[in-house]
Amino acid sequence: MAGARISVPSRARSGEVISIKTLFSHPMETGYRRDALGLAIPRDIVSEFVCSYDGRAVFRAELNPGIAANPYFAFSVRADRSGTLEFRWTDQDGNVTVETRELAVEP
């Protein structure tokens, strides 16, 4: 398992709309399935994903049971200043995975 994967350019021109893709390896177990012995498989999901740009949330998603394994998000952000992009996945138990990428913006 690769954990989090992120595709984001390292530099952009000011005002440019950049595309960001993220994938988080996770089974997204719904809690509604049963195993071979008929026992309920406990729910195990990522419940929130937030991308912040220079400290400000620019993309946020709430995830619920039924969303497919390995949640994948593709979204766009307007690059207007150099700064840190932070990607934060939080699971149902509050465990947090954080990744960051630096974005250099040229005027």
Residues near other proteins, by CB under 8 A: 1-2, 5-7, 21, 23, 25-26, 69-70, 72, 74
**φ/ψ bin of 47: left (φ > 0), alpha (ψ from -120 to 50), beta (otherwise):** alpha
C-alpha angle 7-59-18 in degrees, rounded to nearest 5: 45
Structure tokens at 14: 């000011």
CB of 47 to other proteins, least distance (A): 18
Nearer to other proteins, 56 or 68 (CB): 68
CB of 8 to other proteins, least distance (A): 10
